[in-house]
């Protein structure tokens, strides 16, 4: 069976390497019927992606990926089917990304104290107009030859507890689920296997969670089967995607290699139309 929809891709509007138009063109080249742009805490790439979808004749689904936190656990919440111009949602995105800019300044300061030759301008150049994220910082360090891959930078410096890590403002999962609902959309728990605490699902359901991202590059086959069963048990939407950010050293994710086959996509598309 073929994957027809990749419902989790990133662009230069957050920390992806390809512009929205390029991501959509790549989805067409990979013979997908639909692609969802889900940049981190921003809808900045959606207009360009939608326009490209019209040009190339592919369904582009507006999405977002909120990075939230609950009891020291990082929980990512995907949103679909919402009004991306909704004022409250846009205000939250602005607040989150203002926090990212402040964190970047503090991270650069820490890195310089650790002996790395890096400036805020280096990071902003890498971000290309997007709010600066940790991957932008990591890519600068790879570009300067300090590390071979972005993954290696994170492991050494940028993960919680590492020398250059800086906390930033984050929504709670409840806030993310609520604002997506207020904007007319629905929330999906992204790559739950990375959290490793299925006990949280009951709580998220009580807050209005509507789906689970079953298919993801960081889920094993056994994990995917487990989350299919869990989704069906709770009558949740099944989603999936490549979490594509572009091709760089150490990255093995390819657009369209994870996602939904026709049956699951039909159920997802039906929910969008409600």
Q: What's residue 248's pLDDT? A: 72
C-alpha of 156 from chain center? 22
| Reduced 3-state DSSP string for the chain | CCCCEEEEECCCCCCCCCCHHHHHHHHHHCCCCEEEECCECCCCCHHHHHHHHHHHCCEEEEEEEEEEEECCEEEEEEEECCCCCCHHHHHHHHHHHHHHHHHHHHHHHHHHHCCCCCCHHHHHHHHCCCCCCHHHHHHHHHHCCCCCCHHHHHHHHHCCCCCCCCCCCCECHHHHHHHHHHCCCEEEECCHHHCCCHHHHHHHHHCCCCEEEEECCCCCHHHHHHHHHHHHHCCCEEEECCCECCCCCCCCCCCCCCCECHHHHHHHHHHHCC
Relative to beta strand 211-215, strand 34-37 is unpaired
Of residues 247 and 241, more confidently modeled: 241
Tens of pLDDT, residue by residue over 55-75, are 999 999 999 999 999 998 999
Tens of pLDDT, residue by residue over 116-125, are 999 999 999 9
- Say what percent of the chain tops pLDDT 90: 95
pLDDT at 13 over 60: yes
Q: What's residue 253's pLDDT? A: 86
Q: Name the average pLDDT for the chain.
A: 96
Confidence of residue 249 (pLDDT cuts 50, 70, 90): low
- Given the structure tokens 């890519």, which residue do they identify? 139
Q: What's residue 147's pLDDT? A: 97
Tens of pLDDT, residue by residue over 157-171, are 999 999 999 999 899
Average pLDDT of the segment spanning 87-112: 95
**98-107, 175-184, 224-233, 241-250: least confidently modelled range:** 241-250
pLDDT at 1 over 90: no
Q: What's residue 247's pLDDT? A: 83
Average pLDDT of the segment spanning 8-17: 96
CB neighbours (10 Å) of residue 116? 18
Q: What's residue 51's pLDDT? A: 98
Confidence of residue 35 (pLDDT cuts 50, 70, 90): very high
Q: Which domains does the chain have, with CATH numbers?
A: 5-92+169-272 (3.20.20.140), 102-158 (1.10.150.650)
9 and 247 in contact (C-beta within 8 Å)? no
Confidence of residue 77 (pLDDT cuts 50, 70, 90): very high
């Amino acid at each position: 069976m073929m994957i027809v929809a990749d419902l989790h891709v990133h662009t230069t509007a957050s920390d992806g390497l390809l512009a929205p138009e390029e991501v959509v063109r790549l989805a067409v080249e990979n013979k997908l019927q639909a692609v969802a742009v889900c940049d981190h805490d921003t809808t900045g790439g959606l207009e360009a992606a939608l326009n490209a979808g019209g040009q190339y004749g592919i369904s582009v689904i507006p999405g977002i990926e909120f990075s939230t936190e609950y009891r020291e656990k990082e929980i990512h919440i995907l949103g679909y089917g919402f009004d991306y111009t909704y004022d409250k949602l846009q205000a939250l995105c602005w607040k989150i990304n203002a926090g990212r800019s402040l964190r970047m300044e503090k991270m650069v300061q820490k890195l310089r104290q650790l002996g790395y030759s890096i400036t805020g301008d280096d990071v902003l150049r890498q971000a290309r107009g997007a709010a600066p994220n940790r991957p932008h910082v990591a890519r600068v360090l790879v570009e300067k030859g300090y590390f071979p891959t972005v993954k290696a930078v994170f492991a050494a410096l940028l993960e919680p507890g590492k020398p250059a890590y800086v906390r930033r403002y984050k929504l709670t999962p409840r806030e993310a689920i609520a604002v997506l609902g207020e904007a007319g959309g629905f929330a999906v728990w992204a790559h739950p296997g990375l959290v490793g605490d299925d006990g949280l699902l009951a709580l998220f359901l009580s807050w209005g969670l509507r789906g689970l991202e079953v298919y993801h590059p960081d889920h094993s086959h056994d994990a995917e089967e487990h989350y299919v069963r869990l989704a069906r048990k709770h009558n949740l939407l099944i989603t999936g995607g490549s979490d594509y950010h572009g091709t760089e050293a150490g990255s093995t994710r390819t657009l369209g290699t994870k996602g939904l086959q026709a049956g699951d996509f039909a159920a997802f598309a039906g929910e969008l139309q409600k």
